[in-house]
Amino acid sequence: MVLTREYVINLRRVYEVSRTKRAKYAVGLIRRFVARHLHVEPRSVKVGQRLNMALWSRSIEKPPRRVRVAVEKYSDGSVVVELKE
């Protein structure tokens, strides 16, 4: 069984972090957000390649302000987050 959901994740809080850590912090923020909403551990959340490329597209200092993502939770408890266009 696969549970599928779509979210728009606001990354406004990323800009409160030091400029040289923003994109990395955004990845962690997305992991924590998805883990909280799907009741799993943050380490079981996998960030898809397209989402990661979107977060890092404008370098480490200027990640996007928000991202639309599709989340799939599998029966074994693993979660995959991918960029939704």
Which domains are delineated in the chain? Answer: 2-83 (3.10.440.10)
Name the β-bridge partners of 5. Answer: 71
pLDDT digits (tens, 9 = 90+) for 29-60: 999 999 999 999 999 999 999 999 999 999 99
**What is residue 10's predicted lDDT score, i.e. its pLDDT?**
97
User: Model pTM greater than 0.85?
Assistant: yes
Mean pLDDT, the chain, rounded, equals: 96
Please tell me whether residue 10 adopts helix, strand or coil conformation. Answer: strand
Task: Report the first-to-last Cα separation within the chain, whole angstroms.
Answer: 24
How far, in Å, CA of 77 to CA of 60, rounded? 30
